[in-house]
Structure 1
Amino acid sequence: MAISFDKAFGIHQYTLGVRAERAEVISANIANADTPGYKARDLDFSSALEQAKSQLQSGVSLARSDSRHLQADSAFSGALKYRNPDQPDTGDGNSVDVQQERMAFMENGLEYQTSMEFLNSRISGLLKAIKGDQA
């Protein structure tokens, strides 16, 4: 009997990649907090998750017509949006709120860790089922 990873791992197998990509986007926001004209960005989690599920299930990747072409930076480019600022413009056109970015980064990290722990417990359960209970 074959093991279906979709049934065994659920949505958590897709969330790890999306959470990792979101961490990079938030990190870029924090790194550019003092860059004039920089606009804060964030990943729309639900649309990025749908993209991840469809790409992994269908094996779709971007086509390159020449071997010298570079791969795209983000597999979730359609889900990357500019964030609406909560603070007034400081005059330099930068829309990054460092405290909001830090909070979003910490929340994203906790959600990543939660998915990782869930997957770890599922894998442990599958290993016990494969090896048999040796208690």
Structure 2
Amino acid sequence: MALSISRTHGLIKDALDYRAARQDMISSNIANADTPFYRPRDIRFEDALASKAADLLKKDSDNLALAQTDGAHIPLKNEKGSYKPTTFFRDGHMARNDGNSVDLDVETTEMSKNSIMFNALIQANKKSSAIFKSVIEASQKVN
């Protein structure tokens, strides 16, 4: 059984996993910079994390609830619990003559931003773990 430091501790773990997956995807884009007709891919996970955080913290979402006024209506699909990131093609850049649309400037910038966010999550995790550890050590001294 895993020890849970807080309700949001799992959220940091998921964010780190998503950041690692995004780093792999950006690396793949850079590696395929010379592959003909390659389109860069990316992953969007912020919505999934926000939904999970709202569910964990029991916040009301900004979504308008739909009413089913007739039993013959198609019921609204409950998508809670399906915290999944979405992958997409990052278009918008001019394709070269070989059809490749990877822009190394964009990819290296996205990699740098992702690395900064990953390191910030690591530091937040260390900080919350250090607080938890200090509480345990202080309680041991009292006894």
Instruction: Summarize deviations over 1:78-117 as a string: whole Å, max 9, x none.
Output: 611000133x221211111011000000100000000100
Residue equivalent to 2:92: 85
Q: Which has the higher helix share?
A: 1
Kindly tell me the number of residue pairs found equivalent between the two proteins.
Answer: 110
Instruction: Summarize deviations over 1:49-77 as a string: whole Å, max 9, x none.
Output: 369x59xx9xxxxxxxxxxxxxxxxxx6x
Contact 2:44 2:87 (C-alpha < 8 Å) held by counterparts:
yes
Seen in structure 2, the aligned counterparts of structure 1 residues 98 and 3 have a Cα distance that, compared at 3 Å, is: closer
Contact 1:22 1:108 (C-alpha < 8 Å) held by counterparts:
yes
- Unaligned 5+ runs, structure 2: 57-83
- Deviation, structure 1 residue 6: 1.7
| Alignment RMSD | 2.8
Which structure's CA Rg is the greater one? 2
2:130 is equivalent to residue 109 of structure 1: no
Q: Which secondary structure does the structure 1 equivalent of 2:42 belong to?
A: strand
Structure 2 counterpart of 1:132, from 131, 138, 143:
138
Identical columns (%): 29
TM-score in terms of structure 1 length: 0.69
Q: Which secondary structure does the structure 2 equivalent of 1:37 belong to?
A: coil
TM-score in terms of structure 2 length: 0.66
Residue equivalent to 1:69: none
Contact 2:26 2:111 (C-alpha < 8 Å) held by counterparts:
yes
